[in-house]
Amino acid sequence: MQIKPRLYPHPVLAWFSDDYRAAMFQPAFEVSGNKGFYKIQMTCKTSSRSLNRLVVDKQAAYAVHVECPATRYRALFTSIDQTFEIDIPVADIDGKVEVCRLIVASQEIKNYASEEFHSDFTGRSFNMMRGDVLAVAEDITFYADKKSDELAKLPSIFSIRRANEADAPPLNVDLMGDRIAVYLAPSTHDKFTSLNSDELLRSTLSATVLIPALVLALEKVMRPEDRETLVDLRWYRTVARKLKDIGINVDGLAEGGESSLVLSNKLIGDPLSGAFDDLTQVLQRAED
């Protein structure tokens, strides 16, 4: 669930409205994880005296709605404590997780009025039902990427696939999945599969197949307008982490000075040099 700017039938303290004249709702959010659980720590504060009074009187509560589109996990957590923690099993969420931070009515509230309301509400009061939204902060997201995720290692972000069309180009790339899909023409794919069984040829195959695909991916990442369409993909987040490991912020990639070709070779582990070494051994093996 994502809360968009909208009109409510009663005053709501929100970043997109002026229903309250000077109050704010700014809950802090931190997430950490281990092998079993993701732990969300909330620190909820509002400068609204009226809303604080409702929470103290247990007529309202701080609330966190957590939703994971990939697993269809949805849950609402509430507390009257300003600071509280939530544990979510690792198995329940994966990838992008959407978080809404709210103050909601925890019981029916009759004739709610506040001197903090906008002047348009002067002299008016409102009846609230249990669950009605009283305050809302901007939506936030985090990514539940497992520590043991098979995509955590850069080579695993690639998927080498056989193209269906007989006249397909020798190599084509699709960037819009969790893996970078590299499509090889049928005859090329057959040769790749056969050669890949020889450990001494794998660096050569990486240099000829994976490097071009990663160059294309980094070219896309360098353009802000393209990057916006990629941020939810797992291969993108893996590449962003690997770039950070070598001191490069993905948002400043275009200004980094190094070409996508140089960076691709660094990220994959210099397969070109490894390919030359391996091919030398292949030739020596042939001579023997």
Q: Which of 96-110, 140-154, 257-271 has the highest mean pLDDT?
A: 96-110
Distance CA 101, CA 113 (A): 23
Q: Fold for domain 13-144? A: Immunoglobulin-like (2.60.40)
pLDDT at 276: 82
Q: Which range is most confident: 100-109, 194-203, 266-275? A: 100-109
DSSP class of 89: E
- Going by C-alpha positions, the residue among 182, 134, 136, 131 that lies closest to residue 157 is 182
- Asked whether the predicted pLDDT for residue 93 surpasses 60, the reply is yes
- pLDDT greater than 60 at residue 72: yes
pLDDT reported for residue 86: 92
Name residues whose C-beta falls within 8 Å of residue 30's C-beta, 6 or more positions apart in sequence.
40, 41
User: pLDDT tens digit string along 157-180?
Assistant: 888 899 988 888 999 999 998 889
**Beta strand ranges found along the chain (DSSP E):** 13-14, 28-33, 37-43, 60-68, 73-79, 83-89, 95-105, 109-112, 126-128, 133-136, 140-144, 158-162, 171-174, 180-184
CB 101 within 8 A of CB 136: yes
Domain ranges of the chain: 13-144, 150-287
- Is it the case that residue 224 has pLDDT exceeding 80? yes
Within 8 A by CB and 6+ apart from 122, the residues are none
Amino acid, res. 3 = I
Distance CA 192, CA 248 (A): 33
pLDDT tens for 6-41 read 678 899 999 888 999 889 998 998 988 777 888 899
Give the pLDDT band (50/70/90) at residue 112: very high
- Within 10 A of 174 (CB to CB), how many other CB atoms are there? 13
Could you report the per-residue pLDDT of 36-67, keeping only the tens digit for each? 888 899 999 899 999 999 999 999 999 999 99
- Mean pLDDT lowest for which of 102-111, 205-214, 273-282? 273-282
Determine the pLDDT at residue 109: 95
Q: What confidence score (pLDDT) does residue 23 get?
A: 92
Q: 238 versus 80: which is more confidently predicted?
A: 80
**pLDDT score of 133 more than 80:** yes
Least confident of 5-14, 149-158, 191-200, 233-242: 149-158
φ/ψ of 193, rounded to 5, equals -60, -40
**Tokens 């190599």 label which residue?**
171
Determine the pLDDT at residue 151: 42
- pLDDT above 60 for 148: no
